[in-house]
Amino acid sequence: MKNQFSGLKKWNIFSNCSAHNKNPDFEFSDLEIRYFHKTGEDQVSWIHRQGMDRMRIYAIKKIIDSKILSEKQYLLAVNELGKKCTVFGRGCLKHGKNEIGKYYLELAEAYKTL
């Protein structure tokens, strides 16, 4: 049986940023943080693996269209949307979903010209 903690990473962090903190009101505390990297059937990304990329693209498109972003945020969001649409569209074409792939590739191009 595979060890369920094989993806475990352990870090020790301090509650303060600097070891040279002169303020006596702060004390260091040694905290242990565990990070588990495990994929499996019980995770949302596994359950909805077919739709997660579409949901992400939809969410980015929705926030871009809302016009509430600053100019910098807008440019970053458009860039990210272009990347995600391109990767998803190419994946669709690769797996024979030509209509869907073409739609997402065209969506990426449409937002690049805005």
pLDDT digits (tens, 9 = 90+) for 70-86: 999 999 999 999 999 99
Instruction: Assign 112 a pLDDT band (cuts: 50, 70, 90).
Output: confident
The size of the chain, in residues, is 114
Dihedral sign for Cα 105, 108, 113, 114, please.
Answer: positive
Q: Which amino acid is at 13?
A: I
More confident residue, 46 or 74: 74
pTM for the model: 0.59
User: In the predicted model, what is the mean pLDDT of residues 57-78?
Assistant: 94
Dihedral sign for Cα 83, 88, 94, 98, please.
Answer: negative
